Structure 1
Amino acid sequence: MAVARRFGTYWPTVEAKLASVYGEDQRWPDFIARLRESVLDAAKARPLALQALDAEREASPDWLSAPGQTTYSFYVDRFAGDLNGVRRKLDYLTELGVRWLHPLPLLEPREGDSDGGFAVKDYRQVDPKLGCLQDLAALAGDLRGKGMGLILDVVCNHTAREHAWAVAARAGDPTYRDYFIVVSAEEAACRDLELIDVFPDTAPGSFTPCPEMGGHVWTTFYPFQWDLNYANPAVFAEMLDVLVFLAAQGVQGFRLDSAPFLWKQAGTTCRNLPQTYALVEAWRAALSIVAPGVVLVAEAIESLEDVLPFFGDDAGGCDLAYNNGVMTALWAALADQDAAIFRRCLAASSGKPGRAAWLNYVRCHDDVIWNALATYAPREDLARWSRFYAGQTESFSLGKAFQTAAGGEPSTNGMAASLAGIGPGEGGASAGAARLALLYGIIYGLDGWPLIYMGDEIGLADDHLYAEDPLRSGDGRWLHRPTMDWSLAARRSDPSSLEGVLFSRMRGLTERARMLDQHGVAGTAQPLDLGVASVLAFERAEGTRGFLCLANLAGVPVTVDLPAAFASGATDLLGQGRTSDESLSLPAYGLVWLVTP
């Protein structure tokens, strides 16, 4: 009965979205008929335990917006060795308040350099170094038992050249040759002029010659990563099968890696095209039939105008997306001790649908891309922030410059602790620790899911040894992909240590965030300008009580006039004090969460 109901609700969306992309293709009638049957079969075969989870979430449609859904992102091998090692660390993660685990790519990659696991050889197998499929299912089961969920990376734009589809294509199989895109040398040269280089220093150009394929294969990222041909409807169906297969193992969410690049069209940059959004919406609608408890996360590190459509129209698209614009703006505002750029980006991000949520973060496994703020700040600002965090000007940052496309500003590499200026041996009372704690305090106050990048909770520093590893030395992003230092994590109970201060701070933020709905706090964060440049302020005003976050981006105390509703009797949820005046003093890097009486 539930399958029939969901099919009646969502199948028209699947068909309509795909018709907008493939409706004129001669393969359309056979394709959509086959897809209809496969979706129905998959929905009926959904494991009973997962059907129960689906029913629970369908019964609480607002569950996605519940506060305090802390997510933890990490590389499995660098965090705990393998999947069973992760299972043994679940007590640590629950102590931190984590609700969602987001391990970075763990499906079987190609041998050798795999771009950090993003060159997938087999979507249905786990990297043998990390375990097996049964280990993955066991981890997913452990998490369900603790009220937690597992989000996996699915690299949907490309496969490794060693993937079975690419092997068959090179062997001459016409079915699989049409899974990839091959052009002449002349066309490749012309198209490269339209496209934006992702890795101009380490992998220039977007095409790789392959004599076996009779031309140049489209490779947006690295030569060993072959872009899939989504103009072929069979490719859409294959990737949906992958999502359904992994969901049946207990995976509760998918990060759609490189989603902006799916559709290729001459005369464009081949990013964020209407067909791309339609494909993502069709995946969402199909999964709403098969596995409605599963969430989709858009990995779209683009301008906010290009990210927002990934949430879809009324029918729905991705449930979450990385709030990249706000993240980058936070670092920019901290450098300038001026919240103006944050206000511009937060205002733009507030345009998302109410049913969706932002994934708010301070750092991740990738670089900080200043060019993503080009819509909101002049070129000279982007250049200044780039130099600041590369340590090329007077700065607290210990970060390093990364590559950029022609005409852009270099991105920044480095762990959050390094970018915040936590030097070797510094303790929890350092200015760098205060800056890092401040940034996390801000993202926990925003609506959406807060994400912790592995090690930030103990101030883990950069891994400079990556340069000595031949498989990693060519990619500067490995600077901020260190191995977890469990000896440092063991100090998290010491309130005088850096690790103790940061761990306690993040655990406390999770506890306070989960209580926001009990305090009557709800709604989208909206920026406020209170007339003091260094005071970052936003309010959430759609609940029964008003909420105001105030953060001092400066290393000196400031005083700010409070909005009338918060001027007397408002409670600070972080300090538990009450306001008694029309103004409030904030210490250096101070933070308050105020709720109205």
Structure 2
Amino acid sequence: MTASTPTPLTSDDDWWRSAVVYQVYVRSFADSNGDGVGDLQGIRERLPYLRDLGVDALWLTPFYTSPMVDGGYDVADYRDVDPMFGTLADFDAMITDAHALGLRIIVDIVPNHTSSAHPWFVAALATAPGSPERARYLFAEGRGEHGELPPNDWESIFGGPAWTRVPDGQWYLHLFDPAQPDLNWRHPEVRAEFEDVLRFWLDRGVDGFRIDVAHGMIKAEGLPDVGFNSMTGGRRQSELLGKGRLPYFDQDEVHEIYRAWRPILDSYPGGRMAVAEAWAETPQRLARYIGPDELHQAFSFDFLDATWSADSFRKVIDTALAEATIVGAPTTWVLSNHDKQRHVTRYGDGEVGLRRARAASLLMLALPGCAYLYQGEELGLPEVLDLPDELRQDPSFLRTGESRDGCRVPIPWSGELAPYGFGPAGSELSWLPAPATWAALSVAAQAGTPGSTLELYRAALRARRAHPALARDADGVTWLETTGPGVLAFRRTGGGAELTCVVNLSDAPVQIDGYGQPVVASAELTGQGTGHVLPVDAAAWFERR
């Protein structure tokens, strides 16, 4: 099957510098055939909703051929669509329609590991130690008198050892599930394969890639011990993510890979881009992934991890903006994704969590750079905390008791009963059950309802796109003096206009004077003239032209 010719988008090679990208967790977005699982045709049918929401691009989680041990992040064929999600023809039709609506498409690429069902790994197990087939992965001899101990003390991110022994006595590395063996990125065949995979999807018209575990492909020479792990009574090694160095993450040699990928992206028209899911011990090391000869963006997870305080948010924002200036790339903000508890729940759950989540969204969308939204956050969805254990599918749940399934419940579209229009009319199937309380949070329930979270997002995204002070070439952040330590205020200027974002993270309402007229607010403002009262846990934008 040949790739379709995508509809040209507006010419803007720098679109990614200020884009709002909507993450689609494919299994949980929209089900077109009633089998209870979201699919590509379901996405295609809902594209007008995303256009009307006001986003610029979609990031799709993996839809490739996979046994689905880890929700598709265990890839068996990088060049085909899993039948669960449709066909390559469905993908081509979806991307053509998306481009016709002015929406760009970013796809996940999973280069750190394959599925254990990938033909390469099947061949590796069928051959003897030392074979060329095994050289594509990280096989090693065990320790102990008879090789009965793992080669080192490395620990899986999902808990337990990062090594599994095969019948002939060797061990293979898997930093995640045993069904996800790590590739050997010092092998030229591995590098050539993924460069070809990039071209395959670029030829089909994709506008960019989100690189899964972008910090993980190179392991330290000699596979040295970390020195501790939870299996020997120490702390979990994953606690060092973003805080310290591990011999299997953020090795300097990984940057050679991205210096080889960037010319491939640059050889295609239309500003094709790549964003790294990377964890590094300092913002300076994270910034190394970004630049004109490597990647375009790296997620700023510090913003997601900020606590609900003015000091925490300001420190994170200042650090991210400073690092972005050094590397000449945009900041990349995110509040939730498919691996993290939804921020409504992180911020306190219930009414408090929703108030804070709405305010945080206005804070994020007023900042310069690129913002990533996770499906359902525009509806104010909370984490589903009471899923029955027998329905959970996250592989980490079986090893650690921790589960990411609660943020992956299919989103509600319409109706009074679950699964709330997730599938076609009459379909009652849903791979994870939605709570009975979600009827009031559906798209249909919120659309056109003043004050709803959906309408707040729509209004903010319209203003972000139209307001000259929020344009890509507008000035950056200028912090302003505020009435108290729990209030953040900053100004953006551009095109002869000013826009001020004020966030009240204190425990009392605050008086806001002199910033102009309100543009959008996460809670109802009171007051008259140029003076307004901003409630607790609320944010607002004010303009002067």
TM over 0.5: yes
2:446 aligned residue: 492
Alignment of 1:537 with 2:489, yes or no, is: yes
Amino acid at match of 1:484: I
Alignment of 1:591 with 2:542, yes or no, is: no
1:197 Cα deviation (Å)? 4.7
Aligned length: 469
Work out the CA distance in 1 between the residues paired with 2:69 and 2:48: 31
Q: Secondary structure of 2:540's partner? A: strand
Q: Any conservation in 2 of the 1:70–1:99 contact (CA below 8 Å)?
A: yes
Query: Percentage identity across aligned positions?
Result: 28
Q: Any conservation in 1 of the 2:333–2:364 contact (CA below 8 Å)?
A: yes
2:420 aligned residue: none
The 1:341/1:569 distance shift into structure 2, 3 A limit, reads closer
Alignment of 1:480 with 2:407, yes or no, is: yes
Post-superposition Cα deviations, 1:538-573, rounded to whole Å, max 9, x if no partner, equal: 34467755543210113420247xxxxxx7464443
Amino acid at match of 1:263: I
Post-superposition Cα deviations, 1:418-450, rounded to whole Å, max 9, x if no partner, equal: 334443xxxxxx444322210111111111222
2:249 aligned residue: 271
Amino acid at match of 2:54: G
Work out the CA distance in 1 between the residues paired with 2:136 and 2:408: 32
Q: Following superposition of structure 1 onto structure 2, how do residues 315-394 of structure 1 map, counting pairs within 5 Å?
A: 315-329=292-306, 332=307, 334=308, 338-350=309-321, 351-353=323-325, 355-367=328-340
Q: Any conservation in 2 of the 1:179–1:229 contact (CA below 8 Å)?
A: yes
The 1:305/1:196 distance shift into structure 2, 3 A limit, reads farther
1:235 Cα deviation (Å)? 1.0
The 1:302/1:596 distance shift into structure 2, 3 A limit, reads farther
Q: Secondary structure of 2:177's partner? A: coil
Post-superposition Cα deviations, 1:432-486, rounded to whole Å, max 9, x if no partner, equal: 4322210111111111222221222222233333522263463511111111222
1:242 Cα deviation (Å)? 0.7
Post-superposition Cα deviations, 1:88-115, rounded to whole Å, max 9, x if no partner, equal: 11122222112211121211112xx521
Q: Following superposition of structure 1 onto structure 2, how do residues 509-524 of structure 1 map, counting pairs within 5 Å?
A: 509-517=460-468, 522-524=474-476
The 1:145/1:466 distance shift into structure 2, 3 A limit, reads farther
Alignment of 1:251 with 2:222, yes or no, is: no
Post-superposition Cα deviations, 1:357-404, rounded to whole Å, max 9, x if no partner, equal: 33322111113xxxxxxxxxxxxxxxxxxxxxxxxxxxxxxxxxxxxx
Work out the CA distance in 2 between the residues paired with 1:297 and 1:438: 26
1:297 Cα deviation (Å)? 1.0
Work out the CA distance in 2 between the residues paired with 1:365 and 1:178: 32
Work out the CA distance in 2 between the residues paired with 1:235 and 1:183: 18
Amino acid at match of 1:65: R
Q: Any conservation in 2 of the 1:158–1:226 contact (CA below 8 Å)?
A: yes
2:343 aligned residue: 416
1:448 paired residue among 369, 373, 383: 369
The 1:588/1:77 distance shift into structure 2, 3 A limit, reads same
Amino acid at match of 1:252: D
1:190 Cα deviation (Å)? 8.1
Q: Any conservation in 2 of the 1:570–1:579 contact (CA below 8 Å)?
A: no
2:163 paired residue among 203, 207, 230: 207
The 1:61/1:129 distance shift into structure 2, 3 A limit, reads closer
Post-superposition Cα deviations, 1:103-161, rounded to whole Å, max 9, x if no partner, equal: 21211112xx5212111111011121110111111111110101101111111111011
Q: Any conservation in 2 of the 1:46–1:290 contact (CA below 8 Å)?
A: no
TM-score, reference length from structure 2:
0.78
TM-score, reference length from structure 1:
0.71
Post-superposition Cα deviations, 1:185-234, rounded to whole Å, max 9, x if no partner, equal: 129968644x565223xxx122221235x511111111111111111122
Amino acid at match of 2:61: L
Q: Any conservation in 1 of the 2:22–2:372 contact (CA below 8 Å)?
A: yes
Amino acid at match of 1:317: E
Q: Any conservation in 2 of the 1:72–1:98 contact (CA below 8 Å)?
A: yes
1:228 aligned residue: 183
The 1:278/1:356 distance shift into structure 2, 3 A limit, reads same
Amino acid at match of 1:184: E
Work out the CA distance in 2 between the residues paired with 1:363 and 1:207: 30
Q: Any conservation in 2 of the 1:65–1:356 contact (CA below 8 Å)?
A: yes
1:573 paired residue among 501, 519, 522: 519
Amino acid at match of 1:107: Y
1:528 Cα deviation (Å)? 5.7
The 1:136/1:459 distance shift into structure 2, 3 A limit, reads same
Q: Any conservation in 1 of the 2:297–2:329 contact (CA below 8 Å)?
A: yes
Q: Could you list the runs of 5+ residues in structure 1 that have no partner in the other structure?
A: 1-44, 368-413, 424-429, 561-566
Work out the CA distance in 1 between the residues paired with 2:381 and 2:72: 22
Q: Any conservation in 2 of the 1:359–1:451 contact (CA below 8 Å)?
A: yes
The 1:556/1:578 distance shift into structure 2, 3 A limit, reads closer
Q: Could you list the runs of 5+ residues in structure 2 that have no partner in the other structure?
A: 32-38, 225-245, 415-441
1:348 Cα deviation (Å)? 1.4
Amino acid at match of 1:265: A
The 1:573/1:247 distance shift into structure 2, 3 A limit, reads same
Work out the CA distance in 2 between the residues paired with 1:493 and 1:144: 24
Worse overlay, 234-243 or 458-467: 458-467
Work out the CA distance in 2 between the residues paired with 1:434 and 1:278: 44
Which structure has more helix as a fraction of its residues?
1
Q: Any conservation in 2 of the 1:295–1:319 contact (CA below 8 Å)?
A: yes
Alignment of 1:198 with 2:128, yes or no, is: no
Amino acid at match of 1:198: I
Alignment of 1:136 with 2:96, yes or no, is: no
Q: Any conservation in 2 of the 1:185–1:215 contact (CA below 8 Å)?
A: yes
Q: Any conservation in 2 of the 1:540–1:546 contact (CA below 8 Å)?
A: yes
The 1:300/1:169 distance shift into structure 2, 3 A limit, reads same
Worse overlay, 266-275 or 478-487: 266-275
Worse overlay, 170-179 or 444-453: 170-179
Q: Any conservation in 2 of the 1:326–1:342 contact (CA below 8 Å)?
A: yes
Work out the CA distance in 1 between the residues paired with 2:329 and 2:388: 37
Alignment of 1:459 with 2:411, yes or no, is: no
Amino acid at match of 2:139: V
1:261 aligned residue: 216
Q: Secondary structure of 1:490's partner? A: helix
Work out the CA distance in 2 between the residues paired with 1:229 and 1:558: 56
Work out the CA distance in 1 between the residues paired with 2:40 and 2:50: 14
Alignment of 1:73 with 2:32, yes or no, is: no
Post-superposition Cα deviations, 1:154-186, rounded to whole Å, max 9, x if no partner, equal: 111110111011112222283332211111212
Q: Any conservation in 2 of the 1:210–1:216 contact (CA below 8 Å)?
A: yes
The 1:527/1:302 distance shift into structure 2, 3 A limit, reads farther
Work out the CA distance in 2 between the residues paired with 1:436 and 1:129: 33
1:580 Cα deviation (Å)? 7.8
The 1:342/1:421 distance shift into structure 2, 3 A limit, reads closer
